[in-house]
Amino acid sequence: MIQCTKCGAKLPDWTPVCQFCQTDLSHVARPKPDGPKARIKYYEPQPWVNVVYNLIAVYWVLNGIYRVLVGSGVLGEQSFALVIIGVFGALFGIGMLARVELVRGIVNFVCGINIILGVTCLGVSVITSPLVGPLALVGIVVQILDILQSAFLIYLIAETDRRAPNL
């Protein structure tokens, strides 16, 4: 802290002018820092995180292209909805590879919705398992894997974030 030469107010070291009396403080001696300035150390994710993140993004692109080919009738029956889903899947995969924050946010949101729906369907599968029998076990396992996959993708997106944490 420095002190204003005119009004005596205590002010931060960096201030060039007194906020109270508008006195120029550029000539006032500033205290020296105690040691070298600490450098900001950015978080570096584990090396495998980027590899797995990029593999999942490439999978999204390839899966989107496959769905477009199937939906357009090249590899199967025509389905306009499948083409739309494929186009969006491929674009989201490309956006994830390019680390576009808007796309990553949308994918995070979709994964969050997928987790909520997965937990709901998991509950329904558990409740109806006595009625369906052993086949319900397959549905339960699929729902658990779907929930884990969405949670893992949210984790990978958070770990590969370029921005500093907003604490």
pLDDT of residue 19: 86
pLDDT of residue 167: 44
- Over the chain (167 residues), what is each successive 10-residue block's mean pLDDT? 87 86 85 61 75 92 91 80 91 91 92 93 86 82 91 90 56
In the structure encoding, which two tokens stand for residue 100, read together? 């576009």
In the structure encoding, which two tokens stand for residue 33, read together? 């820092």
Radius of gyration over alpha carbons of the chain, in Å?
A: 28
pLDDT of residue 113: 95
Spell 117-139 as b/e; 16+ CB within 10 A means b.
ebeebbeebeeeeeeeeeebeeb
Is this structure's pTM higher than 0.75?
no
pLDDT of residue 15: 85
Rounded to 5°, the CA angle 81-87-92 comes to 125
